[in-house]
Amino acid sequence: MSDADNEGLDFRIRRDDWSRCEFVTNEVSLDPPAGGVLFRVDRFALTANNITYAVAGDMLDYWGFFPADEGWGRIPVMGFADVLASSHPAVAVGERVFGFFPMSRHLLIEAEREGESVIIDARHTVRPTRCSTGSTRPWPRTPCTRSLAGPSVKMR
């Protein structure tokens, strides 16, 4: 692990005025709580869907995926990440995953495994929707991730 691994960075926008946005830095603990998994977001795609997530943020609870300070939002993106730290017995450090992530350098979840290929955030009662596995579930509230490799946009 490098020194940059515990330097958090979040991109957030004002929910009532998208022309106002900012990068916020924070300290990230490399020691997740029991059952926790810390992801290091590596790459994500920016598409027209991301604007839809902001437009429908309140109606479909996209703003609830990755909470932010009052009045601010973190738009979900589809991307790739590596498990940086894990205290969950079924999630290995170094595992490569694909799914919903914030436009951030890190994401900490309370992990729950659903089979071999899906990891969800157990803090939410609504489970992920179709996740590269073909299963159907209610609309997502948290990352739906799976070990997978492929091209996307590099976050710097």
Domain 3-121 listed as CATH 3.90.180.10: yes
pTM value > 0.85:
no
What is the average pLDDT across 84-109?
A: 91
Assess whether pLDDT exceeds 70 at residue 126: no
What is the average pLDDT across 40-44?
A: 92
Q: Are 100 and 75 in contact (CB under 8 A)?
A: no
